[in-house]
Amino acid sequence: MDVVAEAIRVTRQLASLTDEPEAHGLLALMLLSHARRPARVVDGRLVPLGEQDRGLWDADAIAKGIDILQTALARDRRGQYQAQAAIAALHADAPTAAETDWVQIVEWYDELLALGESPVIRLARAVAIGEAAGPRAGLAALDAVGSDVPRYYAARAYLHERVGDVQAAAIEYAEAARRATSTLEQQHLLREGERLRARQSPG
pLDDT level of residue 2 (50, 70, 90 thresholds): confident
| pTM exceeds 0.85 for this model | yes
Q: Is the pLDDT of residue 203 over 60?
A: no
- What per-residue string of b and e applies to 142-176 under the rule 16 or more CB within 10 Å gives b? beebeeebebbbbbbbbbbbbbebeebbbbbbbbb
For residue 4, what pLDDT is reported? 83
Q: What is the mean pLDDT of the chain?
A: 95
203-to-152, 186, 198 alpha-carbon distances in Å: 32, 28, 10
- pLDDT tens digit sequence for 139-168: 999 999 999 999 999 999 999 999 999 999
- pLDDT tens digit sequence for 43-86: 999 999 999 999 999 999 999 999 999 999 999 999 999 999 99
Beta bridge partners of 41: 46
pLDDT level of residue 102 (50, 70, 90 thresholds): very high
